Copies of this chain bind each other. A is one copy, B any other.
């Protein structure tokens, strides 16, 4: 296998509060700032509260989802007085941490998120980006307290819509279950451990350590399943079945229950075998994705 060389990761950004009611990132940033880690060693660490207005209101967002605002097209469009707050903020973040796709962009961007789904710790990453793939392997090799999984987004960087696509390399750290607006110690400790392992990787990488190639298991999105709805009013007519709830990344087979109608009947799954995730996530309908 050929060797690939990358320059050091000298500028690393840790972001949180991209969704203002996901508390692990908000508190992780405060702790990093208190410890003045910015001044430790040769790496410049930048800590960024991505959506301060949404954090202040403890809401996911004010006008639109900030984590869908970072495509090259959205970042190059004009801003007017009517531009939604989050799109303006995306332009600011792109100026601070990018510009996306340029030599000035931060070398590594880690954006911390929470989910209400029972997903443990996941790295969400663009599949052609080798640095976060090695960070994934490093975290997997060291972390024993929870399964560490990878979710691939199969898009070219220019179409990448999420904040981490602004860095030269980047990933989302997604951890759950945690209710919105709440900080749980168990979930916070997972985030802290993963961030510390990311710093450990950066130090080893910058010190010239060689990392072996290999394979990683990852999930990609196959389909997104909405709730059953009333055809007239559009209102949801069923909840996620209790036999599916909290069973993220467990095999789902045709015939398994997925919804329970409020009227009492069970709705079963009709598709191919899959591993569902983001089940009953606050922000999104349940997703069914395959390994």
Q: Footprint of B on A, CB under 8 Å?
A: 27, 30-31, 34, 59, 116, 177-186, 188-189, 235-236, 239-242, 245, 260, 262, 280-282
Contacts and interface: CB of A to CB of B under 8 A. Distances in A.
A174 to B, nearest CB: 15
A260 B184 CA distance: 11
Given A180-B181, A262-B31, A188 B239 contact: yes
A212 to B, nearest CB: 34
Contacts of A31: 262
Nearest to A176: B179
Residue among A27, A179, A240 with the highest chain B CB neighbour number at 10 A:
A179
A57 B116 CA distance: 18
A76 B128 CA distance: 65
Nearest 10 CB-CB pairings of A with B:
A179-B179, A185-B239, A116-B179, A181-B282, A185-B242, A31-B262, A183-B239, A186-B242, A182-B282, A185-B260
Nearest to A35: B263
A30 B116 contact: no
A241 B188 CA distance: 11
A182 B27 contact: no
Contact of A180 (B179, B183, B189): B179
A190 to B, nearest CB: 11
Given A27-B262, A31-B262, A59-B59, A280 B180 contact: no
Nearest to A259: B185
| Among A59, A183, A236, A241: residue with most chain B CB under 10 A | A183
A179 B240 CA distance: 14
Contacts of A34: 262
A245 to B, nearest CB: 6
Contacts of A236: 27, 183
B262 A186 contact: no
B185 A245 contact: yes
A198 to B, nearest CB: 18
Nearest to A181: B282
A140 to B, nearest CB: 23
